[in-house]
Structure formats: C-alpha cells, structure tokens
Chains A and B, each alone.
Chain A
Amino acid sequence: GAGVSQTPSNKVTEKGKYVELRCDPISGHTALYWYRQSLGQGPEFLIYFQGTGAADDSGLPNDRFFAVRPEGSVSTLKIQRTERGDSAVYLCASSPGRNEQFFGPGTRLTVL
C-alpha cells in the first residue's frame, strides 16, 4: 500500500517568506508526527497529532511554527517569517498506535 507522502520534496524560499509543508499519512493512521532533521543530526520532535488535535506541541521552536490537521488525515506544517536557521529536512510520520512510526521521505527546506 501507499506509504507516507510529503510535498514538496524540495522547497527553496527567501528569508522572511511564509511556507507550507504537506504530509499525507498512511490511510487509517490516527497519529501523525512532525520532526525536523538538521544536517548531521538526528531528527528532533516538533509536534504530535492524535486525530485532529495536537496532543503534544512541545517541540515547536517558537510561535513562527504552526501545524494543523483539520480532518484527522492530511497535515500542514506552516512556518512564518522564515529564517536561515529553519533550513532542514522536515519529516512526517504516521502511526496506527502500535508503537511504530512510519516515516515519509521528507521535505528539504532551504531558506536563502
């Protein structure tokens, strides 16, 4: 079956611009996660959704970052006023709730 998909695969933007990153989870998975992976580092947790609600947003670095999952399926990570330090690969994962997370290929964000 289809895995987790993320669009776009690459996004180049200018400092100060707004970006949206999309995640399509595996059908039927109730849990959805966003992580950020900087060069040479392991992924860092950003936010976790159970259904439509954000169950844990403790990893969001500041109020420029926001994520939604309005219908409990697709999620969008939104970054306002992008900074060069936001450049990273943004990973999405979904889970059926059996302690296993299935990761998408990621979106590589470059802020110039």
Chain B
Amino acid sequence: AQSVTQLDSQVPVFEEAPVELRCNYSSSVSVYLFWYVQYPNQGLQLLLKYLSGSTLVKGINGFEAEFNKSQTSFHLRKPSVHISDTAEYFCAVSGQGAQKLVFGQGTRLTINP
C-alpha cells in the first residue's frame, strides 16, 4: 500500500517569489508520482508526472518537481509565482502495477500581491 504526506496545509507567498510545496510518500514497491492542481470550483488538472527516467520533471505553467528516491520525496517548485497560481495542490502516488491514485491532503497556495 502507498501513502502520501504533504507537509504544509497552507503556503502563503508573495507574487514573483519562489515556492516549494513538499511531498513525501511511502511505498513498498516502485511508484509513479503526480502533482495535480485544483483551481477554485474546478476539477483536478495534471501539472506533471514522474514515471521513469530523469528525476527532474517539468510540467505546465512553469512548475517542476524532483523525484528523490532515497528521501522518498517529490517536492514541487516554481521559481516565480503569479497571482493566477492561487489554488490547491495535490501530490499523488500509484504503484507501477496498480491504477488507483493515492492522494495527499493537499496544500493551499495563496499568492499575495
């Protein structure tokens, strides 16, 4: 079984500042890792995913994440945030042989002008 811990429930940052949203996972098998974004009153949208290969993954809207197997982490970063990045961000994991996603509790990113 897999589990995901998102270490921060809320992250406030100023516009144009860098941000890191932390995600740690637990699994006894090899995993796939995902970050989803949920804008207010909208469905979940995939930001990026790690399946294999390069541990640095680039996604949409200038986001990137780095898979660290030894630390079982998959932190999400953006060098300069915009007001439009205000949303809830979810880290998720699935086993490579499984299909269902296991989500973290979410991190609410708030951008202040």
Given A103-B43, A106-B43; A42-B100 close (CB under 8 Å): no
Interface size on B, residues (CB 8 A): 23
Q: Which of A43-51, A60-68, A74-82 contacts B (4 or more CB under 8 A)?
A: A43-51
Q: Write the B43-85 contact mask toward A (1 if CB under 8 angstroms, else 0).
A: 1111001010000000000000000000000000000000000
* In contact, A99 and B51 (Cβ under 8 angstroms): yes
Q: How far is the CA of A43 from the CA of B43 in the complex (A)?
A: 11
Q: How far is the CA of A33 from the CA of B99 in the complex (A)?
A: 9
A-B contact pairs, 20 of them (CB 8 A): A4-B43, A33-B99, A35-B101, A41-B105, A42-B103, A42-B105, A45-B100, A45-B102, A48-B99, A50-B99, A55-B99, A56-B98, A99-B49, A99-B94, A100-B49, A101-B46, A102-B46, A103-B36, A104-B43, A105-B43
Q: Which residues of B approach A to under 8 Å, CB–CB?
A: 4, 6, 32, 36, 42-46, 49, 51, 90, 92, 94, 98-106
